[in-house]
Amino acid sequence: MLLVLLSFVILLASAVAALCLGGRPSRAQDAGAYGAVAASIAGLIPSVQTLLSGRTETLSLPWPVPLGSFSLTLDPLSAFFLVPVFTLTALSAVYGVDYLKAYSGRKPLGLVWAAFNTLTAAMALVFTSSNAVLFMLGWELMAAASFILVLFEHEKAQTRKAAFIYLAAGGAGALLLMAVFALLGSGSATLDFSSFHSPSRAAASAVFLLALCGFGLKAGFIPLHVWLPEAHPAAPSQVSAVMSGVMIKTGIYGIIRILGFLRPWEEWWGWALLIIGAGSCVLGALFALAQHELKRVLAYSSIENIGIILLAAGLGVIGVTRGAPELAALAFAGALLHVFNHSLFKGLLFMGAGSVLHGAGTAELEALGGLSKRMRASAVFFLAGSAAACALPPFNGLAGEFLIYAGALRGINFPASVALAGVAAGLVLAVAGVLAAAAFVRAGGTVFLGEPRSERAAGAHESGPLMLFAMGALALLCLVSGLAAPFLLGPLAFAVSSGFGPLYGFTAGIQGAAPLVYVSAGGLLLLAMAAIAAAKRKVFLRGKKPAEGVTWDCGYAVPTARMQYGASSFSQPLTDFFQPILRKIGQYPVISEYFPGKASFSREAQAVFYNELYAPAAFRIRELAYRFSWLQHGRLQIYIMYIVVTLMGLLLWKL
């Protein structure tokens, strides 16, 4: 526990140091990065210890804030979320040193590092605090720090809009959370988590709904996601990695914690989580397929993965309320394992996108291509991350989803409603998996394969050694945690126990072991086959010189890069099918002559929920507010009159 505290101190001290050294960018970079790495190591040690031993540690310091206490608790659930936080922070910091070098002198790097380290400290505080006031402090600090990072390229109007939406979403979420804690803590002297007691049925449902919306605004599931695809791509890439990899998981953590305070659960909570998760994962994958910018593809993929986690949690809640503990245990274990795995591969993918942005100067899919020849290592790492994101063995994306599938299939042995939930969850996962695979084939293929579609892509260069090291480490972790998934079950069982109840943790440990061993065995087999194939190729090619040709020349004698399939054309069959949902706008050329002249083609993905739901709603509110603009005339005297009249009214009313 003291090491966690030490980690806080290092993070905050290095943040201050980086801010003070802002005038000398390379010094600021050093202070920020060394601080982040040292703090991460200090934080990882107790987290891993807690996960291995299953013990809970607490620390309480005096803190003279009303209703507050400086109480930290490191239980296996917290530790399970802290491990990815510290892992990703350390590697992102290493990555960031190379990545931000290009901005030296143009951007206040001291501020960036200060915000980055504060963000990590805030996340660690959110995951460990066991007092609502302290929790909200960490929560708001997290929002503020990430807001600064989202504003990194504030000279772009789009970034400012993204930051504003992000701020608004964060504020709304925090407001709802205060209501949650007020309801939970009513009647007790402090807002310590340990003093919370489950409210009555109706109030418990209200708490659940408020928490779902409040934490949902941070987790970013559909339809509360509008800020996510705007804000995540706007931040520097290593920050996008942290935000998408671990920061949105604070929402998931919050929902799990609140569920822990509310006993017994209602079945419809499970259905709510299941339906929201299902919608989120299918639509998230679908929108990812329609995006034209690499980081936006990844942001929508995060929405999809949050959906998967929520879906599994919903399935588990249904299992618990319907008396199906094995199903619940597998679903909960799958949800948590996917939290861990997603943070690794999404961090890797965002760093890969950052390398593309760094090397080619753009992340627009239609301007890229052929980067695997120019950025070989980055391409391999991105491929590994993509394979994990598509839940392909031997990488780690599969393990969590496999546990969820295994749980969903158990549902068939139970009464109709549980069976329905299981089958629905399985089907939705399969559909989302297919769409996600299509999205990543499209993104990876367009960026790394074929020929460059622009001069910038043709002149792309490989990233620096620190960036490659960070990506390589994450790719290796993705591979190892995929193969070693059965060994993760012990810590996972502890985390499930402390998050959902001891019964489910124990069951998860037993039930999850068998299927995961098969997954790992299959992964190893696949690796062995790949190794054999590579060896065979080497043997066949010994002493021969293989010919080289262009990719995708489609039978043309003199192909040009413009003849390749683009990102739009690759996904067109699918996106046309889902046009009623995607609502892409654009124009097709209509060819009516034998020798057509110049033609142009454009397709643009829409932010459907923002345009169709939030913008009209905001417009209505503004319109309504405008009706009262006669109150807002700018005359000081009348404003004071309002105050006097209000005060007099209150006085007379109370008399």
CB of 605 to other proteins, least distance (A): 24
CB of 618 to other proteins, least distance (A): 10
Chain center to CA of 255:
15
* Both structure tokens of 498: 């402390």
Q: Where are the alpha helices (DSSP H) in 262-324?
A: 267-290, 294-321
The 463-482 contact track toward other proteins, x by CB under 8 A, reads --------------------
- Residue of 432, 655, 410, 378 whose CA lies nearest to 508: 410
Under the binding rule (CB under 8 A), the answer on residue 202 touching other proteins is: no
What helix, strand, coil percent values describe the chain, rounded to 5? 75, 5, 20
Under the binding rule (CB under 8 A), the answer on residue 621 touching other proteins is: no
Q: Which stretch binds other proteins (CB under 8 A): 145-153, 285-293, 366-374, 625-633?
A: 625-633
Under the binding rule (CB under 8 A), the answer on residue 601 touching other proteins is: no
Under the binding rule (CB under 8 A), the answer on residue 641 touching other proteins is: yes
Chain center to CA of 335:
14
- Tell me which of 106, 538, 562, 622 binds other proteins, using CB under 8 A: 622
Under the binding rule (CB under 8 A), the answer on residue 598 touching other proteins is: no
- Tell me which of 60, 638, 646, 650 binds other proteins, using CB under 8 A: 638
Instruction: Check: CB of residue 612 under 8 Å from CB of residue 226.
Output: no
- Tell me which of 200, 592, 600, 629 binds other proteins, using CB under 8 A: 629
Q: Maximum CA pair distance of the chain?
A: 103
- Tell me which of 102, 535, 640, 650 binds other proteins, using CB under 8 A: 640
Q: Which residue in this structure is represented by tokens 């990233």?
A: 463
Q: What is the rounded CA–CA span in Å between residue 298 and residue 296? A: 5
- Note every long-range contact of 138-145, with CB atoms under 8 Å and residues 24 or more positions apart, other chains counting: 139/174, 139/177, 139/250, 140/174, 142/247, 142/250, 143/167, 143/170, 143/171, 143/174, 144/118, 145/115, 145/116, 145/118, 145/119
Number of residues this chain uses to bind other proteins (CB under 8 A): 16
Closer to other proteins at the Cβ: 540 or 626?
626
CB of 168 to other proteins, least distance (A): 17
Helix 567-577 × helix 267-290 angle, to 10°: 140
Instruction: Check: CB of residue 341 under 8 Å from CB of residue 402.
Output: no
Residue 195, Cβ neighbours under 10 Å: how many?
Answer: 15
Under the binding rule (CB under 8 A), the answer on residue 631 touching other proteins is: no
Under the binding rule (CB under 8 A), the answer on residue 635 touching other proteins is: yes
In DSSP terms, 74 is beta-bridged to 57
Q: Which stretch binds other proteins (CB under 8 A): 28-36, 62-70, 489-497, 621-629?
A: 621-629
Under the binding rule (CB under 8 A), the answer on residue 655 touching other proteins is: yes
Under the binding rule (CB under 8 A), the answer on residue 157 touching other proteins is: no
Closer to other proteins at the Cβ: 587 or 611?
611
In the three-class reduction of DSSP (H, G, I as helix; E, B as strand; rest coil), residue 253 is classed as: helix
Closer to other proteins at the Cβ: 2 or 644?
644
Under the binding rule (CB under 8 A), the answer on residue 632 touching other proteins is: yes
Under the binding rule (CB under 8 A), the answer on residue 636 touching other proteins is: yes
Q: Which stretch binds other proteins (CB under 8 A): 62-70, 330-338, 591-599, 629-637?
A: 629-637
CB of 632 to other proteins, least distance (A): 6
Closer to other proteins at the Cβ: 102 or 640?
640
- Residue of 198, 185, 193 whose CA lies nearest to 263: 198
Q: Which stretch binds other proteins (CB under 8 A): 384-392, 538-546, 553-561, 627-635?
A: 627-635
- Tell me which of 323, 560, 626, 650 binds other proteins, using CB under 8 A: 626
CB of 496 to other proteins, least distance (A): 50
Q: What is the rounded CA–CA span in Å between residue 319 and residue 424? A: 14
Binding residues for other proteins, rule: CB under 8 A, are: 619, 622, 626, 629, 632-638, 640-641, 644, 651, 655
